[in-house]
Copies of this chain bind each other. A is one copy, B any other.
């Protein structure tokens, strides 16, 4: 199976970092974005940018940093955006309903797919977003977590939110799956009968409840979700057992 392409509409989703203090976090955020197929980064009044430290932490995502837009105000970063999600972990006296990333994401993906511009807005490492910044956004998103230790690093928050977005794109991971062929029910049943015959030949059912025993065995191999070549291996083994038992019991 070929490697699929990341959906094109992800370019309509930008990550906005408002007043980030630590250049390392900018680099880690760029890396986090790129692992989830996002490329558009916008920095509002970064303390230090560009920087060597950001480049080092961006690892293979330096292109995201090179193409980053630097602006003076959050309003500027959001001018062409229809939906801006403020990421916050504080309780706010604001009337927007507070959504989890999972609740917020389907709408964001649908809008980006329709060609609208969507922004994920993250605040400063220490202070988060100011109330003024939150009011420039029209969605409020909080990442669920331990209420006694909610110390999610900025880049970690970017990673979680972009992971959540990516997981709603319907982009399959099938290309990573091995290509083995699933055995059919008839093949599995053929093997089970072969097993039953072999057990019978060995007189294995004597003083045992053969019917119940075979029910359990059928359960085992049903749960095992056998592949075709695994059935072949198992039946090869049974054949060899039958052969070893001598010509009178030559099995199938």
Q: When the two chains form their complex, are residues B151 and A59 in contact, meaning their CB atoms are under 8 A apart? A: yes
Residue of B nearest to A180 (CB): B95
Q: Say yes or no: is A214 at the interface (Cβ < 8 Å to chain B).
A: no
- Give A152-194 interface residues, CB cut-off 8 Å to B: 152-153, 155-156, 159-160, 163, 166-167, 171, 173, 175-178, 180
Tell me how far the C-beta of A228 lies from the nearest C-beta in chain B, rounded to whole angstroms.
11
Q: Say yes or no: is A247 at the interface (Cβ < 8 Å to chain B).
A: no
A118 CA / B91 CA spacing, docked (Å): 33
Number of copies: 2
Quick one: given A98-B177, A160-B159, A173-B144, are A151 and B31 in contact (CB under 8 Å)?
A: yes
Residue of B nearest to A34 (CB): B149
- Give A22-44 interface residues, CB cut-off 8 Å to B: 28, 31-32, 34-37
For A36, A171, A176, which residue has the most chain B Cβ atoms within 10 angstroms? A176
> Which residues of chain B are near A219, meaning CB under 8 Å?
none
A residues within 8 Å of B by Cβ?
A: 3-4, 6, 28, 31-32, 34-37, 59-61, 89-95, 97-98, 100, 102, 142-153, 155-156, 159-160, 163, 166-167, 171, 173, 175-178, 180, 225, 227, 230
